Structure 1
Amino acid sequence: MKKEDCFYLGKVVSKFSFKGEVLVKLDTDEPESYVEMESVFIDYNDNLVPFFIEKSKLHKSDLLRVKFEDVDTEEDADDLLKADLYLPLTLLPALEGDKFYYHEVIGFTIKDLNYGTVGILKGINDSTAQALFEIDRDGKEILIPMNDEFIHKLDRTTKTIIVNTPEGLIDLYL
């Protein structure tokens, strides 16, 4: 399994018990969706290694308490601290309407209701306070905030995102 075929699920943040249990901080709005998993891939020495889950349950609100098979001691659990967890992209629940996963819209055409075709979505920068569409227009980068008010429609069949940006925003980049 390669990382590009997977999505990031979370990170092992601490040990929980002396029997090898760990707490995983999930990167999701719906942690309850991941309680019944049979296995995950853990990034271990730059390889994705499958780990089977004996049991798991939610701990507090956004942590998952996990007991992996063959992780039976504190030392075993220490070995997994700060490790990233992944699942295959095929396990992502399908989103409908204007909701989307970042990876699925890369390459989509961005069109503005007033401006017309803006360019091709090359990436999404979510390291800022406001996530941004990174759009390529003939070699120039245009940044549009990923704001619910700006996203007018998402069309998966034509691979298009229609936005309605404030007047002049796109002109700033051209």
Structure 2
Amino acid sequence: MTKDECFYLGKIVSKYSFKGELLIKLDTDEPESYLTTESILVELNRKLIPFFIEESSLHKSSLLRVQLEDVNSEEDADELVGLSVFLPLKQLPQLAEDQFYYHEIIGFTAFDEKFGEIGKITGVNDTTPQALFEIEHKNGKEILIPVNDSLIQKIDKSNQSFYFQTPEGLIEMYLE
């Protein structure tokens, strides 16, 4: 399985006990939905290695405390601390029609209430303090729109269309 077929679940941040238990900082708003996960994929030397979960529980609400099969000591756990954890895309929880995962809107056509079609969504930059939709305008310029519920008018997943209501001057700033 490749990383393209997976989503980032979180990072192993520390050991929890001398028995090899680990704490995973989950990158999700709903950590409880991963309590019944049977296995995880850990990125080790640029490869995804499967590990089966023997036990798991939430720790301080956003950390998943896990006991992995064949990780039975502090030494075993030390080798995994700091590594990223992934799950197959098919394990993503289903969202409501007005919700979306960043990866699933890539390629959607973006529309603005005032400008009509403004381009294709090419990505979402979530490395900045405010996540930004990256949209390639038909003239080749990039338009950045903050990921903010108040700016999203409608999402039409079946037609791969995303509708914005942007503030005055935002789109113009990129097209000048």
8 A Cα contact 2:97 2:157, kept in partner: no
State the Cα deviation string for residues 32-63 of structure 1 (Å, max 9, x = none).
11111110100011100100011011111111
TM norm structure 1: 0.98
C-alpha RMSD over aligned residues: 0.8
Aligned position for 1:36: 36
Aligned position for 1:82: 82
State the Cα deviation string for residues 75-114 of structure 1 (Å, max 9, x = none).
0000000011100000111111221000000100000011
C-alpha displacement of 1:167: 2.0
> Runs of at least 4 residues of structure 1 off by over 4 A?
none
Aligned position for 2:98: 98
Distance 1:9 1:50 in 2: 14
Q: Say which SS state the counterpart of residue 150 (structure 2) adopts.
A: coil
Letter of the aligned partner of 1:44 in structure 2? Answer: L
% identity of equivalent residues:
59
Aligned position for 1:170: 171
Q: Say which SS state the counterpart of residue 170 (structure 1) adopts.
A: helix
Aligned position for 1:157: 158
Question: Which consecutive unaligned segments of at least 5 residues does structure 2 have?
Answer: none
Distance 2:22 2:98 in 1: 35
State the Cα deviation string for residues 144-170 of structure 1 (Å, max 9, x = none).
111111100000011000000112211
Question: Which consecutive unaligned segments of at least 5 residues does structure 1 have?
Answer: none
8 A Cα contact 2:43 2:84, kept in partner: yes
C-alpha displacement of 1:127: 1.5
C-alpha displacement of 1:126: 1.1
Aligned position for 2:54: 54
Number of corresponding residues: 174
TM norm structure 2: 0.96
